[in-house]
Amino acid sequence: MDLDDVSRHIDIPPDAPYTLSGLDTLNPILTIDGKIKLVGEYLETIGTCLAFSDKEVAPAENGKPHKTVEPVAKIHKILKFRLALDNDDGETRATTL
């Protein structure tokens, strides 16, 4: 998921609850904290993209805690989101920020 365009314009709390719906459609909807509505669009990647997970590892007896990074998936499409606006007729459309 790519939220770069959106996160530059609005503040998204890191612990905000979210709902992601319509993943099987061309334009999935991401609702954050019940207030912010985003419309997604799938974009093809060039080459193979990898997704990673990082986690804190407990310190050894003589060491400091550190993070490990592990690959978790290969990605062939990126889901990019934009801020959504509702039309008067109830339809949702994406805006360009």
- Asked, for residue 96, whether it belongs to a domain, the answer is no
Tens of pLDDT, residue by residue over 46-58, are 888 888 998 888 7
Per the listing, tokens 């060491």 go with 63
- State the Cα torsion 24-93-9-30 to the nearest 10°: -30
Residue 58 domain boundaries: 3-83
Domain-embedded: residue 59: yes
DSSP 2: B
Domain assignment present for residue 92? The answer is no
Region 36-45: what's the mean pLDDT? 89
Residue 97 has pLDDT above 50, yes or no: no
Cβ atoms of residues 36 and 25 within 8 Å: no
Query: Total structural domains in the chain?
Result: 1
- Summary mean pLDDT of the chain: 81
12 vs 21: CA distance, rounded Å: 18
Residue 15: CATH number of its domain? 2.60.40
